[in-house]
């Protein structure tokens, strides 16, 4: 028996941030990206909720650490907040999620609202958080339904200031979520519907959002694509693109979306058996990838050829947005990789996203993908 429930209240469209006014008069803690603290969005959100600057925690670093979560927990407890409002990219929302979980463990249930300012992680609707354990040199994905935000506010106007490179990385994170969810072990017709619409919107709008960051249409469609991909993967699961991205992100300090973007063409090729003679013709995921290619308007032929076109389309999109093809181009040397290789493979195999991948890889296969992304 399967169950599909959505307990999240959604507000969307230009000006949707005004929905925060409902919290006026309540004890609110705002967990915000430092940019949001500086560019006036934090202040106007605080104004809407009738709270002052002292209610804003903006000591957020990209890829939140255990220490940052502990620091933020203290802040929220000292404020005796009953509502936590996260405003920022995945790093701010994930920090707030981890805080919500820790406080739940102490018997304190906070109402939780998430306001994304990047179109990428879909964290505003997922049940997971990614926290970096710097001492152990790894990123850990924790899933728990208690972390799904009670309320999500998708106000695409907040994403108009996102710099070009971040637009590219976060947008490729969206495409990775949708494609991984589409072929994941737990995919079903409901998650496929979300993934398909997300892919259509992301392939149709990401490059435009990258070129023209102030385009209402492109930003709005990317924000929806991000949300829909989040819905798809929180129910269907992800795959080894994320497992390896978590491991190389922690090892070499590579932004999450950029790591996914570099890995994704290689993971699609691996999952669909492109390396193996006639592999693609027998692979159910290859048929699914070919369907995804058709949906986003890539020319179609036989299954194998269509998946090859999809791989090329992903490489072209990366290239157009100046995302490098290899880790070498990011300054990772052969010696760095040699030193970290075994640890990365081990972390990727143990990552909770691996179980959802349509093909269960062995260490040698992960190693081969690493060799390819090294260049």
Ligand X SMILES: NC(=O)c1ccc[n+]([C@@H]2O[C@H](COP(=O)([O-])OP(=O)(O)OC[C@H]3O[C@@H](n4cnc5c(N)ncnc54)[C@H](O)[C@@H]3O)[C@@H](O)[C@H]2O)c1
- Give the binding site for ligand X (CB under 6 A): 33-35, 62-63, 88-92, 94, 117-118, 120-123, 126, 128-130, 158-159, 161-162, 166, 170, 173, 256-257
Q: Which of 173, 180, 220, 258 binds Fe ion (CB under 5 A)?
A: 173
Distance CA 135, CA 331 (A): 23
| Cβ-Cβ contacts under 8 Å for 305 (sequence gap 6 or more) | none
Stretch that binds Fe ion, among 32-40, 170-178, 318-326, 347-355 (CB under 5 A): 170-178
Residues 11, 163, 252, 356, CA torsion sign: positive
Stretch that binds Fe ion, among 43-51, 66-74, 166-174, 200-208 (CB under 5 A): 166-174
Residue 20 and residue 85 in contact, taking contact as beta carbons nearer than 8 Å: yes
- 33 versus 196: smaller Cβ distance to ligand X: 33
How far apart are CB 25 and ligand X at their closest, in Å?
A: 27
- 121 versus 272: smaller Cβ distance to ligand X: 121
How far apart are CB 226 and ligand X at their closest, in Å?
A: 9
Distance CA 179, CA 264 (A): 9
Residue 225 and residue 119 in contact, taking contact as beta carbons nearer than 8 Å: yes
205 binds, among ligand X, Fe ion, none (CB under 5 to 8 A by kind): none
Site size for Fe ion (CB under 5 A): 1
What are the backbone angles phi and psi of residue 132, rounded to the nearest 5°?
A: -90, 130
Residue 125: which of 158, 94, 95, 155 has the closest Cα?
94
Instruction: List 152's β-bridge partners, or say none.
Output: 10, 114
Under the binding rule (CB under 5 A), the answer on residue 258 touching Fe ion is no
Here the tokens at position 10 are: 């959604």
Under the binding rule (CB under 5 A), the answer on residue 180 touching Fe ion is no
How far apart are CB 130 and Fe ion at their closest, in Å?
A: 8
> Where do the H-state alpha helices sit in the chain?
34-38, 41-49, 66-79, 90-105, 164-183, 189-211, 216-236, 240-252, 256-271, 279-282, 284-295, 303-320, 334-350, 363-374
What are the backbone angles phi and psi of residue 10, rounded to the nearest 5°?
A: -115, 130
- 121 versus 308: smaller Cβ distance to ligand X: 121
How far apart are CB 213 and ligand X at their closest, in Å?
A: 9
- 8 versus 123: smaller Cβ distance to Fe ion: 123
How far apart are CB 94 and ligand X at their closest, in Å?
A: 5
306 binds, among Fe ion, ligand X, none (CB under 5 to 8 A by kind): none
How far apart are CB 61 and Fe ion at their closest, in Å?
A: 17
123 binds, among Fe ion, ligand X, none (CB under 5 to 8 A by kind): ligand X
List residues near Fe ion by CB under 5 A: 173
């Amino acid at each position: 028996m399967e169950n599909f429930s959505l307990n999240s209240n959604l507000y969307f469209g230009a000006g949707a941030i005004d929905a925060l006014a409902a919290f006026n008069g309540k004890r609110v803690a705002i967990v915000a990206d430092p940019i949001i603290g500086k560019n006036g969005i934090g202040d106007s959100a605080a104004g809407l909720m009738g709270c002052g600057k002292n209610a804003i925690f903006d000591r957020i670093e990209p890829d939140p650490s255990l220490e940052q979560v502990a620091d933020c927990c203290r802040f929220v407890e000292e404020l005796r907040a009953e509502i936590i409002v996260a405003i920022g990219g995945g790093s701010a929302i994930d920090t707030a999620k981890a805080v919500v979980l820790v406080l739940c463990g102490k018997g304190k249930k906070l109402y939780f609202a998430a306001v994304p300012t990047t179109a990428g992680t879909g964290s505003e609707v997922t049940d997971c958080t990614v926290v970096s354990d710097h001492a152990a040199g790894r990123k850990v994905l924790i899933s728990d339904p208690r972390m799904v935000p009670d309320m999500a506010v998708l106000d695409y106007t907040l994403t108009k200031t996102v710099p070009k490179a971040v637009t590219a990385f976060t947008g490729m994170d969206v495409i990775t979520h949708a494609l991984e969810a589409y072929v994941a072990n737990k995919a079903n017709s409901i998650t496929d519907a979300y993934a398909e619409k997300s892919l259509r919107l992301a392939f149709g709008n990401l490059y435009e959002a990258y070129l023209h960051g102030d385009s209402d249409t492109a930003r709005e469609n990317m924000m929806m694509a991000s949300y829909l991909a989040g819905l798809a993967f929180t129910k269907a699961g992800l795959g080894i693109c994320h497992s390896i991205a978590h491991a190389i992100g922690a090892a070499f300090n590579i932004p999450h979306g950029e790591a996914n973007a570099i890995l994704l063409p290689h993971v699609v090729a691996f999952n669909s058996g492109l390396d193996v003679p006639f592999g693609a013709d027998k692979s159910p995921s290859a048929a699914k990838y070919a369907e995804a290619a058709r949906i986003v308007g890539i020319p179609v032929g036989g299954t194998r050829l269509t998946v090859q076109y999809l791989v090329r389309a992903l490489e072209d999109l990366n290239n157009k947005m100046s995302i490098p093809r290899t880790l070498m181009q990011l300054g990772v040397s052969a010696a760095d990789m040699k030193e970290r290789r075994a640890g990365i493979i081990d972390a990727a195999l143990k990552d909770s996203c691996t179980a959802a991948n349509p093909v269960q890889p062995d260490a040698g296969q992960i190693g081969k993908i690493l060799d390819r992304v090294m260049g």
